[in-house]
Structure 1
């Protein structure tokens, strides 16, 4: 695709899986920037977003999850990668529950994966904090950012 569009921005659907186990939250340390985040990823063509969230949890951290609800929908600011490629993401954040498996960095996208106490999470960007808060909220309806 990049051969056709060059570094022009791509509009991509992404997912964030806020995975809870009791009073703990699953976090991975990204290999590209060292930041701790919940599970994130891009939805494959023709893949349902909730299926993508569960797939990403297994691929990135080796855990099986249940996707409980859509927690929020938001557009993230454009990202410019080191090679000049640009992308903008529609993020669908899901509240998820742990089913089985102990986390580990299951692919090269992360260097660590572990449970963090919800009341002692590592520093998060404002966008990531909003996704975590939506995923942990005791709400039925999704949050739509305006």
Structure 2
């Protein structure tokens, strides 16, 4: 999905300056035989494998954004189980000069229906990976999200700043 319209409108006023945004990320898990698998998307813009991530729209609850992003990016309807971690990602400088930091809400989820696909084109591929066979090119932020979601501790992890790698 292209940059949300509300951000395009904000950029008209502030240019490339830093923006604080709400982010929502989802670790989608499934049991396959005796092992757990995680769903990852390969970003079309840089080739990195990541959890399913997106920007929360104005007025949208982060958990709703997490489910929406999964449907848009993977063609899968998911059920959000719970918030597992929150922290800051960024600042990130983009190729066009924009700078953003995200207050990230990371959710654990499972698939309700659908078949995997690349949806809105933000990802060039979407695949399931065993936890012992995560791909090269996975971001450190995504690795941390997966670790926390799999551990599924009863309390939400307050991560502070995520390592961008």
Instruction: Kindly report which structure 2 residues correspond to 1:1-146, keeping only aligned pairs within 5 A, or say none.
Output: 1-22=10-31, 23-123=36-136, 124-146=138-160
Q: What's the TM-score, normalizing by structure 1?
A: 0.96
CA shift digits 1:69-120 (9 cap, x unpaired)? 1010010121111110110111110011111112110112110011111221
Structure 1 unaligned blocks of 5 or more: none
Q: CA RMSD in A?
A: 1.0
SS of the aligned residue for 2:90 comes to: coil
Q: Displacement of 1:46 after TM fit?
A: 0.3
Structure 2 unaligned blocks of 5 or more: 1-9, 161-165
Moved over 4 A (4+): none
Q: Displacement of 1:41 after TM fit?
A: 0.3
Alignment partners' CA distance in 1, 2:64 and 2:141: 23
Q: Is the 8 A contact 2:84 2:152 kept in 1?
A: no
Alignment partners' CA distance in 2, 1:24 and 1:88: 29
Q: Displacement of 1:24 after TM fit?
A: 1.2
- Matched residues, number: 146
Alignment partners' CA distance in 2, 1:127 and 1:73: 12
